[in-house]
Structure 1
Amino acid sequence: MGAQRNVLPILFLVLISFLTQSVLTQPVTINSQTERRALLDLRSSLGLRGKDWPIKTDPCTTWTGIRCQNGTVTNITVSGLRRTRIGRLYPRFNVESLLNLTRLISFNASGFPLPGSIPDLFGNRLVHLEVLDLRSCNISGSIPSSLGNSSRLSSLYLSNNNLAGSIPSVLGELKNLKSLDLSINSLTGSIPLSFGSLINIEELQLSSNYLSGSIPPSLSSLKALKVLNVSDNNLSGSIPVQFSNLSKLLELDLSKNSLYGSLPVEFTMLKSLQKMIIENNELEGRLPVDLFSNLVELQVVDLSGNKLDGDVNGSFWSMPNLTVFDVSNNNFSGHLPAPSSNHSVAPGAVFNLSNNLFYGTLDFSLRMFKFIDVSGNYLQGIVNDDERNASVNMNCFQRPNQRSLDDCRTFYNERGLRFDNSGAPPSTAAKSSSGSRRWIFILAGVLGGLGFILVLVLVLVLLLRRYNTGLTNQRRSTDIGPVRESDSAPQLPKDPTNVSGSGDPFTYEQLLRATGNFSDTNFIKHGHSGDLFRGILEGGIPVVIKKVNSSSFKKESYTTELELFRKLSHTRFIPLLGHCLEHETDKLLVYKYMPNGDLANSFYRAINSDDDSLKSLDWITRLKVATGAAEGLCYLHHECNPPLVHRDIQASSILLDDKFEVRLGSLSEVHCQEGDTHQKVLTRLLRKPGPS
């Protein structure tokens, strides 16, 4: 009976707790008509689908990406939502209705296109805002200084946009900021000294911009900093020794700048460091002796592409968490230290020590590594031929694909070292030199180019003969070709806006955003019928946009091409995705982007930036290109009535997609063949490559 009395109070408390929890977890509907109207206005201005934000339901309980507290909207996430068709055609950064959401804490639009500049309302009016995520939103303009007023802001993400100008120093006043990501933009100027006041910052991402000047030593006062990435900028100067104060730093990326000086000895104090990436700078001098023995948490080490010298302490082999160790393309020298034992090598790690000045014999087996690259040094001795987990070329080993004997002897003699050339590499490897290889590649490329041109000429001559023999029958046939018979150029539309069948219509604003206002960085070249620019459409689709200025080019520069695409269709033509004729002077044609460019640039390619060797297209690909070009020309010559001639066949008008399939460009020059059947078909075939 006493036990029952003890159980009853417990059951009562459990029941009360359950009922309380049920009440607290019930969704609360929106309690402000002003906020409801604001959300409806936002739905309209952003062009959101009714499926995601249905007008007849409660926003707090059913709308995707909306979160409320006590009936008040606090979080809005439009990332991942889709626009209506009209919304996709006319996207804009119109969020004025957010002014009526006075308790908004978070606005996340990452990956949702919002072309335009960042409104001041985020900093001036939304006083409770803590998270602003505008990554990959196609934003342009500058970073507004008004964001410095967002005193509660803890996360600011503006990466992968088209932001330009300098970084406002007032951002350094955001004391609550923990994450700041401004990477992958076009920001200029220096890193603000005020950033040293971001006492709570944990992640600072400024990579892939055009920042210049030195790295402020004041960043060393950011005691909470865990990630610092300023890579791929134009920064110079030395690495601040004060960085040793960043005791919580996990990731440091200073790569692809112009930093000089030595690696600070004080870096040995960064006990928590997991990633140290400082490749492609101008660092020189020796590495701190205890660097790798002290930094046992390191997972990734990349110091490649510098001017570091001296020997390397063998403690790097045994860092327990190591996955990548890359010190290639430096001036390290001496004997390559051997691991203390097979078991001391970091399991699963990849080592790259190539293109240095290491010499002597290898006192360890290469089989103990997942992969190791020691190519481009002066190591000697015998290495087994079956080491598939290693790259050992261009050394002084007794095996093929090594340096010449003269090169090896000279290196060892200059240092007063003994070179053992017993069992020397095959003479073919010894006789080869970088100079001779260079001329062999150049000669092969020249002969290959001449061969390709001869193949193309022969194919065209055969096509012309076939066309000449069948011309009479073709002239008598009924006019069923894709182009109406005419004695001159293809008939142009009287109204140049009558372009049905010529791809999708684009607005001028859309194409301005796609090309960054036709910026110089997106400029490709001047063509004889317009200027070509790279562009990125909404959704990340790469395109090429031809800009035809009516004051500089004739009207036929674009109307002929539009008419051609309206009437003709062939897989060998460059795909026309759309057009924009609404601007008074600038007429725009939008083409599919060809990853391999034109034949003029793809035929000869450098193997790498450090070698003068050239690589040309293999013969199978050359034949594929010749056949593809012939198919496109055959269509114009034989399947169109009246026959058409391209009039601009050259290397720069033969475009290549990702599989090296041919797409003919420069179609504004297409014209009906007049008079003699062979008239001017080959007049421009052998013309020197130039702009198209």
Structure 2
Amino acid sequence: MSELCFSFLFLVFISIPLKVTSQDINADRNVLLNLKQQLGNPPTIQSWTPSSSPCDWPEINCTANSVTEVHLRDKNITAPIPPTICDLQNLTLLDLAYNYIPGEFPPLYNCSKLQTLDLSHNYFVGPIPDEIDRLSTLVYLDVGANNFSGNIPPSIGRLSNLQTLYVYQNLFNGTFPKEIGNLTNLEILGMAYNEFSPMRIPQEFGLLTKLLYLWMTRTNLVGEIPESFSNLSSLQHLDLAGNNLEGPIPGRLFTLNLTHVYLYHNNLSGEIPRPVEAMNLVEIDLSMNSLTGSVPEDFGKLQDLDLLNLFSNRLTGELPASIGLLPALRNFRVFRNNLTGILPPEFGLHSKLEGFEVSQNQFSGQLPENLCAAGVLQEVVAHTNNLSGEVPESLGNCRTLQTFQLHNNRFSGEIPRGLWTAFNLSTLMVSNNSFSGKLPSELAWNMSRLEISDNKFSGEIPSTVAWWANLVVFEASNNLFSGRIPKEITNLSSLTTLLLNGNDFSGELPSEIISWRSLTTLDVSNNKLSGEIPAAIGSLPDLLNLDLSQNQFSGEIPPGIGNLRLTSLNLSSKRLVGRIPSQLDNLAYENSFLNNADLCADDPTLKLPDCNSKLHESKGFSSRHLAIILTFAILVILAIPVLSFFIVRDYRRKKRRQYLATWKLTSFQRLDFTEGNILSNLTENNLIGSGGSGKVYRIIINHSNESVAVKKIWNSKKLDYKLEKEFLAEVEILGSIRHSNIMKLLCCISGEESKLLVYEYMENQSLHRWLHGNKRRGSVYHTVLDWPTRLQIAVGAAQGLCYMHHECPTPIIHRDVKSSNILLNSEFKAKIADFGLAKMLTRHPSSHSTSEVAGSFGYLAPEYAYTTKVNAKVDVYSFGVVLLELVTGREANNTDQNMNLVEWAWHHFSEDKPIVEILDPGLRESSFLEEMIMVYKIGIRCTRASPSKRPSMKEVLHALRSCCPEGGQGAEKKVSDIDVAPLLGSVTGTYLSGYKNGKKGSEEDDSMIYDKV
């Protein structure tokens, strides 16, 4: 009996845990199924069913038959996370990264065992809550790549178990706390790309003695690097780039301040090992700050140092020779400083050096002999120094070399033969030195940029130039080249720039140049070329700069040159004859035909003879002609007093009439109102806006409540010259063109003290207000524009610009395209407005250049930084910014990471991140995802740095219409089936350096950015 009782009790005892465990997993399954429903039943987690165990679901990990880990990364979740997820009582890991989760920081404070929380790459907003310390068991926290804002609370310093903290790439605009220094277990701290208030690095950060990785790029840091960093004995990766740090780099920054070392009373043998603190650092990036002083000698002690970036600072003095001895150094970048002395000669001899960039300093002496000793060197960028001597012969055997830039130095001798043909070399820039020798018969197969101007190269261009098929830029100006320009050079179909000026070339210019379809600049001036100018030049569609001056060309100017959209033209000092093309007869080309005595023009604006006049051929006057002239002169003298009387009288009458009739109306459309209707309603009650040129009013003009918009400029009697130019430009352009996507100018009214422009009224005002007004508190523009409406607006605006660029009798450059200048009517039809900065190309020759930068920051094309010459591609760039605004919802000058919108979009593009991450969070229609991605790519293409790489507005319009489901042929055609590759092209290389998923990406010398994109 006793044995039976014992057996029964034993069975009861062992069944209790099984029953409890079964209840636990059932409860967890119910929690997860409820969670799935609250998340909107995402199709990506359809394996969650009531009939299976959660431990068998791919996204779930269990321990002891209880759910401990939930992995929902990249599951297309668009709903907020409910607090019921914390009903999983043993949850230790929650991964929600790479979704579209909105709302504030999720309420997870009841997850009492949570150790890992990843919320990165979502749409969270608002501040990090003060009660964050309630998640006291956290070891890993990642909230990067969201829209969190405000301050980081001091309470985060109470998460004593935290080892990893990522808050990078948010909208934090407040402060971060010194209490982070209390996280003594912290190993990784990533705070990069946040626009914090200007802050010094807290001294308390020196208490993070276990820290391995510190990433604070572009966090608005100021002041000096604290001395307390010498306590960071475990640090391996330090990145403080892109801030406003100043002062010297502390000499003892990476060395523990040991005060006592006791080694007596031991039995030690062998060498004393080097201090661990001098061994840890692998990467140091202090670039793009304002640091001063010299490069510390202590850098030479960092035996594991792989990357050293000190570029774009104000460092002075010489480089420590010990840096050249570092055994692990692969990337060394100190360009754009004020460093002097010689380069350490042992660079590359002791390490596998890959990148060596020392440009824009004051280094002297020779280039180190052994840079490619390890056979992995990729970049030598040493331009703009005082370096001299010959290029080391060893570099001629460096097959891995990709770019070699020594321009603006004092080098001499010949380029090593092997360097010309280095297998991977794509860029060779050695201009402005004293190199000599001849061009090789062979060139590296991948060479795209060859710049050898201002040297002493001689001989002929070899006929094998035809094999240099990938060449895009060939600059060989001001050398000693001679002979004929070989016709084989016309085989280079990828050329955009060809400079052969300042040599001794003779013979004719090759005529078979139709393959130069991409050429934008051709300069063969200051040679001895002869014969006629090839007519094919007039058929080069992208040619902007043409200089054939100081040669011996003869014959007529080919008429086709007049059809080119040239920003500069020089045909001076030649033997040209006949008529110049009529399109070139304007003041933009007043210095283009000097010293050509036999040229003439049909209707001369320039200082050229009239082709229709024979007066200049007369040898003299007969007596009859002299008598006629004398009689005419006497009559004129007698008539002057009489004419003067009538002129003065009429002038006084005219002035009196002008004084009485103050206002004058000039109509461009049929009007149903008078100037009286307008003038009587210019009151503050009707004011709807104001800008740099004046005020804008909405005025009702009839009983049907039809309205017009009136722009009033000049509120003082003293007329501003700039406003006068804007007024005349807008009246001339809008008064002469008609297009449904361009603002209709009804009339202008001129008075003594002000001028009025009367437009059709646009009920929905500007695109900028609809995209960005809803982000401002109290805005009435609270409705998010859906994607079909945005695409309709993009197509409409593109149609207006396409008409201006390609269909107007006189092409127009707007020069201030932006979302606030795209207005919307009651049906959200887009119209281009505000032509105050626009210019007509042929009617106003000055439209080819401008004395000041016009337009709006954030929308300005890069070429404004280095030239006043502009063409229609500046509008394409600005329109590309508008497209990026439409797909991202971000303002042109207001993004995270301390970048403008274009830099931010290219930064994201260069890291190959999913495009959906940067789309406007207000657009939830997944059915339009393909169209949005396509428009994003078009915006990227439009904002390329090089004007020649941007599409025309005609191409942009075609691509945008292809994105419309109902547009073009075949309404059912999918966006993915549309071939827009000719527009999008390909983007190689990295536009901006940065980080991906919290890890360092590839670095690029910004002097090479425009070469690669």
Q: TM-score, normalised by structure 2?
A: 0.38
Identity of aligned residues (%): 25
Q: Which residue of 2 aligns with 1:352?
A: 450
Q: Render the CA deviation track for 1:599-619: whole Å, top value 9, x for unaligned.
A: xxxxxxxxxxxxxxxxxxxx8
Q: d(CA) in 2 for partners of 1:25 and 1:282?
A: 70
Q: d(CA) in 1 for partners of 2:66 and 2:452?
A: 61
Q: Which residue of 1 aligns with 2:665?
A: 466
Are 1:160 and 2:242 matched, yes or no? yes
Q: Which residue of 1 aligns with 2:553?
A: 426
Code of the residue aligned with 2:205 in structure 1: it is F
Q: Tell me the SS of whatever aligns to 1:426.
A: strand
Task: Assess if the C-alpha contact under 8 Å between 2:119 and 2:144 holds in 1.
Answer: no
Q: Which residue of 2 aligns with 1:285?
A: 389
Q: Which residue of 2 aligns with 1:599?
A: none
Q: Which residue of 2 aligns with 1:275?
A: 379
Name which of 181, 203, 210 aligns with 1:120.
203
Are 1:80 and 2:145 matched, yes or no? yes
Name which of 226, 229, 233 aligns with 1:151.
233
Name which of 457, 460, 466 aligns with 1:361.
460
Q: d(CA) in 2 for partners of 1:570 and 1:49?
A: 30
Task: Assess if the C-alpha contact under 8 Å between 1:201 and 1:224 holds in 2.
Answer: yes
Are 1:402 and 2:503 matched, yes or no? no
Q: Which residue of 1 aligns with 2:951?
A: none
Q: d(CA) in 2 for partners of 1:55 and 1:299?
A: 53
Task: Assess if the C-alpha contact under 8 Å between 2:251 and 2:297 holds in 1.
Answer: yes
In the TM superposition, what are the counterparts of 1:308-327 in structure 2 within 5 Å?
A: 308-327=411-430
Name which of 472, 475, 481 aligns with 1:379.
481
Q: Which runs of 5+ in 1 are unaligned?
A: 1-19, 30-47, 340-344, 409-423, 434-439, 446-450, 452-461, 491-567, 579-618, 635-649, 663-692
Q: Which residue of 2 aligns with 1:532?
A: none
Q: Render the CA deviation track for 1:140-161: whole Å, top value 9, x for unaligned.
A: 2221111111000111111112
Q: d(CA) in 1 for partners of 2:662 and 2:294?
A: 61
Q: d(CA) in 1 for partners of 2:357 and 2:662?
A: 58
Task: Assess if the C-alpha contact under 8 Å between 1:148 and 1:170 holds in 2.
Answer: yes
Q: Which residue of 1 aligns with 2:545?
A: none
Deviation at 1:248, TM superposition (A): 1.9
Q: Tell me the SS of whatever aligns to 1:349.
A: coil
Q: Which residue of 1 aligns with 2:346?
A: 242
Q: d(CA) in 1 for partners of 2:834 and 2:376?
A: 61
Q: d(CA) in 1 for partners of 2:117 and 2:458?
A: 69
Are 1:304 and 2:407 matched, yes or no? yes
Deviation at 1:172, TM superposition (A): 3.8
Q: Which residue of 1 aligns with 2:500?
A: 393
Task: Assess if the C-alpha contact under 8 Å between 1:405 and 1:430 holds in 2.
Answer: no
Q: Tell me the SS of whatever aligns to 1:398.
A: strand
Q: Tell me the SS of whatever aligns to 2:253.
A: helix
Q: Render the CA deviation track for 1:537-582: whole Å, top value 9, x for unaligned.
A: xxxxxxxxxxxxxxxxxxxxxxxxxxxxxxx99879999x99xxxx
In the TM superposition, what are the counterparts of 1:149-298 in structure 2 within 5 Å?
A: 149-173=231-255, 174-175=277-278, 176-267=280-371, 269=373, 271-288=375-392, 290-298=393-401
Code of the residue aligned with 2:110 in structure 1: it is K
Deviation at 1:352, TM superposition (A): 0.8
Q: Which residue of 2 aligns with 1:40?
A: none
Q: d(CA) in 2 for partners of 1:333 and 1:162?
A: 44
Q: Which runs of 5+ in 2 are unaligned?
A: 1-60, 71-101, 122-135, 153-169, 256-276, 510-522, 531-550, 556-569, 575-586, 593-604, 606-660, 668-672, 689-693, 696-762, 774-809, 822-832, 837-849, 861-873, 880-1013
Task: Assess if the C-alpha contact under 8 Å between 2:201 and 2:225 holds in 1.
Answer: yes
Code of the residue aligned with 2:436 in structure 1: it is S
Q: d(CA) in 2 for partners of 1:236 and 1:257?
A: 7
Q: Render the CA deviation track for 1:21-60: whole Å, top value 9, x for unaligned.
A: 967998599xxxxxxxxxxxxxxxxxx9743673333542
Alpha-carbon distance change, 399 to 160 in structure 1, aligned in 2, over 3 angstroms: farther
Task: Assess if the C-alpha contact under 8 Å between 2:380 and 2:404 holds in 1.
Answer: yes
Q: d(CA) in 1 for partners of 2:325 and 2:66?
A: 43
Q: d(CA) in 2 for partners of 1:59 and 1:135?
A: 29
Task: Assess if the C-alpha contact under 8 Å between 2:506 and 2:528 holds in 1.
Answer: no
Q: Render the CA deviation track for 1:255-299: whole Å, top value 9, x for unaligned.
A: 1222222323344645432221112222223222x2333333322
Q: Tell me the SS of whatever aligns to 1:171.
A: coil
In the TM superposition, what are the counterparts of 1:653-672 in structure 2 within 5 Å?
A: 655=855, 658=860, 659=874
Name which of 184, 187, 206 aligns with 1:102.
184
Are 1:131 and 2:213 matched, yes or no? yes
Q: Render the CA deviation track for 1:62-105: whole Å, top value 9, x for unaligned.
A: 45369xxxx96554444323315788997333234434533111
Q: d(CA) in 2 for partners of 1:430 and 1:470?
A: 53
Code of the residue aligned with 2:526 in structure 1: it is S
Alpha-carbon distance change, 273 to 623 in structure 1, aligned in 2, over 3 angstroms: closer
Deviation at 1:223, TM superposition (A): 1.4
Q: Tell me the SS of whatever aligns to 1:258.
A: coil
Q: d(CA) in 2 for partners of 1:407 and 1:308?
A: 30
Code of the residue aligned with 2:480 in structure 1: it is Y
Task: Assess if the C-alpha contact under 8 Å between 1:27 and 1:61 holds in 2.
Answer: no
Deviation at 1:312, TM superposition (A): 1.5
Are 1:482 and 2:704 matched, yes or no? no
Name which of 102, 106, 115 aligns with 1:60.
115
Q: Which residue of 2 aligns with 1:93?
A: 175
Query: Which is higher, the Rg of structure 1 or of structure 2?
Result: 2
Q: Which residue of 1 aligns with 2:105?
A: 51
Alpha-carbon distance change, 75 to 194 in structure 1, aligned in 2, over 3 angstroms: farther
RMSD: 5.0
Task: Assess if the C-alpha contact under 8 Å between 1:182 and 1:206 holds in 2.
Answer: yes
Code of the residue aligned with 2:687 in structure 1: it is V
In the TM superposition, what are the counterparts of 1:2-13 in structure 2 within 5 Å?
A: none
Q: TM-score, normalised by structure 1?
A: 0.54
Q: Which residue of 1 aligns with 2:792?
A: none
Of structures 1 and 2, the one scoring higher in RCO (CA 8 A, sep 6+) is: 1
Alpha-carbon distance change, 399 to 172 in structure 1, aligned in 2, over 3 angstroms: farther
Q: d(CA) in 2 for partners of 1:432 and 1:264?
A: 47
Code of the residue aligned with 1:195 in structure 2: it is F
Code of the residue aligned with 1:350 in structure 2: it is S
Q: d(CA) in 1 for partners of 2:371 and 2:238?
A: 29
Alpha-carbon distance change, 467 to 361 in structure 1, aligned in 2, over 3 angstroms: closer
Task: Assess if the C-alpha contact under 8 Å between 1:284 and 1:307 holds in 2.
Answer: yes
